């Protein structure tokens, strides 16, 4: 098989890493890829979100399968263009990708099919309407920009003044871009978050192992939201009974609801859950694998990823093929100093070889590029130091030991990925 992977972050490096381990795979291209992916695939300097450019590339290289990593190509209609040519591709249609591309669309779907989610106060097209609605909501309130905002579109407002400030920035100063033109207000949920991601061919689906992301930049969940500072996976995140509830009350009604609405869904579907006192509720959908969740999930696979994704592309997913290692995994993200705000790039990265010598560790690249014989930083999230081991504690220890071998100027990472889970277990909870 010759496979094209679209994207250039840690999630795509994880996909390339596991696809390359398949004996069926003869060649992998990645567009655009990054400094680490370049060691495992042929990187093509093409913007994955540019549908016409990707179609032209695929015409030239004729991959047997294309796997889409990020949301932008999906929201821009890439898979529709591929299916029109009868090219095998993993990822939902443009219409189905609205689950991530429009929070109002996904909220309406949840409500229409009675899937548990936070109560919506309303969706508004003008700041005046939002200010008026803010007079009759309970604080804290969650404010969401309808469209894609690169992770900056959700704000938990403690009071009216903070809410007004966010709405002003989104709707009057256009700081979030067009994604912020429409605003949704919803009830704030309390509980532990969980990323539940499934793979579906439109008819059958298979859940991937559960993961937990750490969105805030600093330890103790302090500071601004990021794309994700680290993730871990262990089956203990989701006990069997809860898993059954998630499947019967959330996953199945969602897939059936989409099909009933005439929007079949194929690809990865990320369901962001809040485990509340009154049961699991949907926070958000993403039309793709999470990043860094993908790194933690793929570290645990015990199946041939190329075979399974090719099955999805052909509409014949066989869920029993998705076998998982019973162990745990962790991914610690190393970022440029200043991220998610302004940061400098071009810093030389040392210690990558020493880090990968640690048993069970794989360093997955995100914002890196090659500069001569060196690897240098080129983005906010730079590396995802990923480890699999027999227990979560051991996976975290290996990931942190590997992270301590790596250095670049300004490097930052959270020291408490998974600490809450291991702390609870140590306390016998």
Give the residues lining the site for ligand AMP (CB under 6 A). Answer: 118, 142, 151, 153-154, 156, 186, 188-189, 193, 215, 272, 283-284
Query: Is residue 286 close enough to count as binding ligand GLY by CB under 6 A?
Result: yes
Minimum distance from residue 335 beta carbon to ligand AMP (Å): 17
Q: Which of 146, 186, 293, 304 lies at the binding interface for ligand GLY (CB under 6 A)? A: 293
Whether residue 302 contacts residue 368, with contact meaning beta carbons closer than 8 Å, is answered with no
Minimum distance from residue 60 beta carbon to ligand AMP (Å): 35
> Closest CB to ligand AMP among 144 and 369?
144
Q: Which of 213, 304, 311, 327 lies at the binding interface for ligand GLY (CB under 6 A)? A: 213
| Residue 193 interface partner, choices ligand GLY, ligand AMP, none, CB cut-off 5-8 Å depending on type | ligand AMP
Minimum distance from residue 232 beta carbon to ligand GLY (Å): 12
Whether residue 137 contacts residue 156, with contact meaning beta carbons closer than 8 Å, is answered with no
| Residue 153 interface partner, choices ligand GLY, ligand AMP, none, CB cut-off 5-8 Å depending on type | ligand AMP
CA–CA dist 251, 235 (Å, integer): 18
Sign of the torsion angle spanned by Cα atoms 38, 215, 353, 298: negative
> Closest CB to ligand AMP among 151 and 423?
151
- Other CB atoms within a 10 A radius of the CB of residue 220 amount to 11
CA–CA dist 120, 102 (Å, integer): 14
CA–CA dist 186, 167 (Å, integer): 14
Phi and psi angles of residue 398, each rounded to the nearest 5 degrees, phi first: -65, -45
CA–CA dist 94, 71 (Å, integer): 10
Minimum distance from residue 213 beta carbon to ligand GLY (Å): 4
How far does Cα 333 stand from its chain's mean position? 13
CA–CA dist 151, 129 (Å, integer): 24
The site for ligand GLY, by CB under 6 A, has a size of 7
Minimum distance from residue 57 beta carbon to ligand GLY (Å): 25
| Residue 228 interface partner, choices ligand AMP, ligand GLY, none, CB cut-off 5-8 Å depending on type | ligand GLY
* DSSP assigned state of 153: S
Query: Is residue 311 close enough to count as binding ligand GLY by CB under 6 A?
Result: no
Q: Is the peptide bond before 140 cis (omega within 30 degrees of 0)?
A: yes
Contact residues toward ligand GLY (CB under 6 A) are 213, 227-228, 286, 290-291, 293
């Amino acid at each position: 098989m010759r496979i094209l992977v679209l994207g250039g972050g840690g999630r795509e490096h994880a996909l390339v890493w596991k696809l390359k381990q398949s004996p069926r795979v003869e060649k992998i291209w990645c567009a655009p890829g990054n400094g680490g992916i370049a060691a495992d695939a042929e990187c093509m300097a093409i913007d994955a979100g540019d549908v016409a450019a990707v179609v032209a590339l695929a015409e030239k290289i004729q991959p047997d399968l294309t796997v889409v990593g990020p949301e932008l190509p999906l929201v821009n209609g890439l898979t529709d263009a591929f299916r029109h040519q009868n090219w095998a591709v993993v990822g939902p249609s443009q219409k189905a990708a609205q689950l991530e591309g429009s929070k109002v669309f996904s909220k309406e779907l949840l409500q229409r099919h009675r899937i548990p989610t936070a109560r919506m106060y309303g969706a508004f097209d003008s700041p005046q309407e939002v200010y008026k609605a803010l007079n009759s909501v309970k604080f804290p309130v969650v404010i969401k920009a309808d469209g894609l905002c690169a992770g900056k579109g959700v704000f938990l407002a403690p009071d009216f003044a903070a809410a007004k400030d966010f709405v002003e920035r989104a709707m009057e100063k256009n700081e979030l871009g067009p994604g912020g033109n429409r605003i949704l207000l919803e009830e704030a949920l309390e509980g532990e978050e969980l990323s539940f991601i499934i793979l579906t061919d439109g008819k059958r689906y298979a859940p991937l192992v559960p993961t937990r992301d750490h969105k805030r930049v600093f330890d103790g969940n302090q500071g601004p939201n990021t794309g994700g500072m680290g993730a871990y996976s262990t089956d203990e995140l989701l006990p069997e009974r809860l898993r059954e509830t998630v499947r019967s009350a959330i996953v199945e009604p969602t897939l059936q609801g989409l099909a009933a609405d005439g929007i079949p869904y194929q690809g990865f579907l990320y369901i962001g859950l809040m485990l509340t006192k009154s049961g699991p509720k949907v926070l958000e959908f993403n039309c793709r694998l999470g990043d860094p969740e993908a790194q933690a999930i793929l570290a645990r696979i015990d199946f041939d990823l190329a075979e399974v994704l090719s099955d999805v592309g052909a509409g014949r997913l066989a869920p029993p093929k998705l076998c998982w290692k019973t162990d745990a995994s962790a991914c610690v993200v190393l970022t440029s100093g200043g991220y998610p705000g302004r940061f400098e790039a071009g810093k030389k990265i040392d210690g990558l070889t020493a880090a990968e010598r640690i048993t069970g560790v794989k360093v997955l690249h995100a914002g890196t590029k090659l500069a001569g014989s060196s690897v240098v930083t080129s983005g906010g999230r730079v590396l995802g130091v990923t480890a699999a081991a027999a227990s979560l504690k051991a996976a975290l220890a290996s990931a942190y030991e590997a992270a301590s071998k790596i250095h670049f100027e300004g490097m930052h990472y959270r020291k408490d990925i998974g600490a809450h889970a291991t702390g609870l277990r140590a306390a016998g909870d």
